């Protein structure tokens, strides 16, 4: 074979070898990258939860920048139970998952305003997309102003979770009301909500919910209880206990508890799961993790959904509830709306229906505080879906519908306080659906309650500085 021919064959071999290498290399990089959400669902969700938005709401031990995430996914942290996926998932797909997580972090970053301080001089001024309001201080000096009612003469009844009930006059003078029940002001317990009878002007009944103490075998146990009484002078008199949620437990959280009368005069009571989600919310033979409906004197309406159903408590109206911190009636439709804390993520806004199961803990949009899933599903037949839910958790508190003409652009909206991020969440509602939301009163404080006063003004109660404010349109 001639040297020329040998060289030609060699060059041809090199060409084909080089061409094959390019084709192979090109094929690798032209490979369609799998949907990162699908990868997360298949490979990550069993440990980190169904919703990426809930997973990212956490403290990051190893950093949350893109390079940090790629390293964590690729090499893992086996001592902490995180496997190394570098030999299982192609690198470009690891990069795609890291991008997904970085993008999802924006759901947390939207609340970065909570780290800022209100720099307004004098009375604070807050601007929304439609209204500018100022705040007038109605009362201060509270630990946690929880419940709020305005009387016909313009004065206020305000509960402090520390165990005090105050009457605040138009002159802003606080008078402590004596004779209320002893409360267990520990953890999330204490003196909670307050409601006036629909015919208060005629009968004077005032309703209080609180954490009630019981000592059994030397152990302090508590329950969510409701009493009614009348205020005469500075005394709570004629006290009658009309409800207690059984059984008593040794936990000190998730009491609920809001009180709302509907248009028919029934009293709705929200009760949390007391931190025992595996036991109470789905069991109608217990009263925790439920919404209850009773008559004004504590007797049971004959048309309650569990009346005559074996050992089920007849006061139960709805169940599968976690930690209900807000409840209100739509003054137009008469429907009862409720907000509750999820775990990490999955705070909910619900319309409460007779006999309905709201799913906790079988379904949830959140994960546990330790980062592990509580459940692998967020939907199930026979269980209600929330009207809307919040990820990350905003820790919704008091809830009210805007009525009257002082805030025309907000009329019919739902206002929900945020304990976690120090603002009020405005929900625009149409046909019982939340169609848009806006964060207002940024950095006003840790909002415990939002209420419409009888004078047509909105009132906001905040912890730290422990005050109640009136919102005045400017």
| Closest C-alpha to 240, from 253, 254, 226 | 226
CA dihedral 111, 132, 147, 341 (to 10 degrees): -20
| Closest C-alpha to 259, from 160, 338, 172, 187 | 338
Q: Helix 66-75 vs helix 91-104: angle between axes, to the nearest 10 degrees?
A: 130
Backbone phi, psi, residue 30, to 5° = -90, 0
* Under 8 Å between Cβ of 461 and 146: yes
For the beta carbon of residue 76, count every other beta carbon within 10 angstroms.
15
Question: Per the residue annotation, which of 25, 29, 62, 254 is the catalytic one?
Answer: 254
Give the bridge partners for 182, in sequence order. none
* Under 8 Å between Cβ of 227 and 213: no
* Peptide bond between residue 111 and the one before it cis (omega within 30 degrees of 0): no
* Under 8 Å between Cβ of 291 and 354: no
For the beta carbon of residue 66, count every other beta carbon within 10 angstroms.
13
Backbone phi, psi, residue 361, to 5° = -100, 15
Coil, helix or strand for 435?
strand
What is the spatial distance between Cα 379 and Cα 363, in angstroms, rounded to a whole number?
6
* Under 8 Å between Cβ of 162 and 168: no
What is the spatial distance between Cα 367 and Cα 396, in angstroms, rounded to a whole number?
17
What is the spatial distance between Cα 356 and Cα 270, in angstroms, rounded to a whole number?
14
Annotation says 254 is catalytic: yes
Q: How far is CA 467 from CA 28, 439, 440, in A?
A: 63, 20, 18
Coil, helix or strand for 219?
strand
Provide the annotated active-site residues: 254
């Amino acid at each position: 074979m001639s040297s020329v021919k040998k060289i030609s064959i060699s060059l041809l071999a090199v060409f084909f070898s080089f061409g094959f290498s390019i084709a192979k290399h090109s094929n690798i990089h032209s490979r369609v990258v799998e949907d990162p959400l699908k990868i997360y669902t298949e490979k990550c969700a069993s440990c980190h939860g169904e919703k990426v938005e809930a997973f990212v709401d956490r403290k990051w031990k190893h950093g949350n920048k893109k390079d940090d995430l790629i390293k964590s996914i690729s090499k893992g942290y086996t001592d902490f139970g995180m496997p190394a996926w570098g030999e299982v998932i192609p690198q470009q797909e690891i990069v795609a998952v890291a991008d997904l997580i970085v993008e999802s972090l924006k759901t947390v970053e939207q609340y970065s305003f909570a780290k800022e301080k209100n720099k307004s001089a004098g009375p604070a001024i807050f601007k929304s997309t439609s209204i500018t309001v100022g705040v007038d201080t109605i009362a201060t000096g509270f630990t946690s102003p929880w419940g709020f009612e305005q009387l016909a003469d313009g004065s206020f009844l305000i509960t402090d979770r520390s165990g005090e009930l105050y009457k605040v006059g138009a002159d802003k003078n606080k008078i402590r009301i004596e004779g209320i029940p002893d409360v267990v002001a520990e953890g999330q317990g204490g003196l909670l909500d307050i409601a006036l009878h629909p015919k208060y002007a005629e009968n004077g009944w005032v309703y209080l919910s609180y954490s009630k103490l019981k000592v059994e075998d030397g152990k302090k146990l508590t329950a969510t209880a409701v009493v009614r009484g009348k205020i005469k002078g500075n005394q709570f008199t004629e006290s009658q206990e009309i409800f207690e949620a059984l059984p008593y437990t040794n936990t000190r959280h998730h009491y609920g508890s809001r009180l709302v009368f509907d248009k028919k005069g029934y009293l709705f009571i929200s009760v949390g799961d007391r931190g025992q989600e595996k036991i109470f919310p789905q069991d109608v033979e217990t009263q925790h993790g439920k919404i209850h409906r009773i008559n004004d004197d504590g007797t049971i309406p004959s048309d309650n959904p569990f009346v005559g159903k074996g050992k089920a408590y007849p006061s139960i109206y709805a169940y599968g509830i976690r930690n209900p911190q807000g409840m209100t009636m739509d003054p137009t439709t008469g429907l009862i709306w409720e907000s509750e804390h999820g775990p990490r993520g999955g705070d909910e806004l619900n319309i409460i229906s007779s006999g309905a199961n709201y799913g906790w803990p079988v379904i949830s949009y959140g994960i546990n505080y330790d980062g592990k899933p509580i459940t692998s599903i967020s939907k199930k037949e026979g269980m209600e879906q929330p009207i809307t839910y919040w990820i990350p958790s905003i820790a919704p508190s008091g809830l009210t519908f805007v009525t009257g003409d002082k805030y025309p652009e907000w009329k019919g909206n739902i206002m929900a306080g945020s304990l976690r991020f120090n603002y009020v969440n405005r929900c625009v509602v149409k046909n019982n659906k939340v169609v848009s939301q806006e964060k207002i009163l940024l950095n006003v404080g840790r909002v415990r309650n939002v209420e419409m006063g009888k004078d047509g003004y909105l009132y906001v109660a905040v912890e730290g500085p422990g005050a109640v404010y009136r919102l005045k349109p400017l």
